[in-house]
Amino acid sequence: MKLIVGLGNPGECYANSRQNLGFKVTEIIANNNSIEIKTKKKKSIIGRGKIADEDVVLLKPQTFINISGEAVLYIASFLRIQVSDIICICDDITLEFGKVNVQFGGEAKAHLGVESLVKNLKSEKFIRIYVGVGPQEELKDISKYLLSDFTPEENLGLIDVLNLAEEAALLLASRPVDEVIKRINN
């Protein structure tokens, strides 16, 4: 069983923010695979289903990103999912907008949500799908940028980015991570 975690912040005011890309990708996966994300479990909303004949759980932590590891640990423990079977989807300000990068383990890239998962799971040995939201210029307030909505120009290309991140997650549900890294990383 795979646990696919989309990182984001709960609440309508954050729904279209850059930092909620993990939620968006998770919702697309759910819609395209007839999985309802509606069951409330401690600090989370989850849905269960199948992708490529593999059992999956889709998870949207209802904590804020900085403490999302608490929700992931609870659900992973409750369902007895191994850390290596966790796929985390999140924004990445260090990647150019439109790029998608799959990584297994390693550093958290200064992403507070990924750092929270590492801390709570007591391991960095899970899969990450980083979705680029990087700006073209230097930022004075990174938090403000991440919590802001996409520009109209970015919105035009957003569906392609979301589809590529969804493809990565679907492949990771049933294929080896190194195969997916070769296929997706650009």
CATH of residue 93's domain is: 3.40.50.1470
Q: How many domains does the chain have?
A: 1
| pTM of the predicted structure, to 2 decimals | 0.93
CA dihedral angle for residue 76, residue 80, residue 84, residue 87, rounded to 10 degrees? -40
- CA 124 – CA 118 distance, rounded (Å): 5
Domain containing 61 equals 2-184
Residue 108 has pLDDT above 80, yes or no: no
* DSSP-based three-state secondary structure for 172: helix
Residue 110 has pLDDT above 80, yes or no: no
Instruction: Give the residue among 157, 159, 139 at the shortest CA–CA distance from 147.
Output: 139
Residue 85 has pLDDT above 70, yes or no: yes
- CA 166 – CA 92 distance, rounded (Å): 16
Q: CB–CB of 64/113 below 8 Å? A: no
Residue 139 has pLDDT above 80, yes or no: no
> How confident is the model over 78-89, as a mean pLDDT?
97
Q: CB–CB of 46/58 below 8 Å? A: yes
**Predicted local distance difference test score (pLDDT) of residue 116:** 95
User: What are the Cα distances from residue 11, in Å, to 55, 62, 67, 73, 109?
Assistant: 28, 9, 15, 22, 25
**Predicted local distance difference test score (pLDDT) of residue 136:** 65
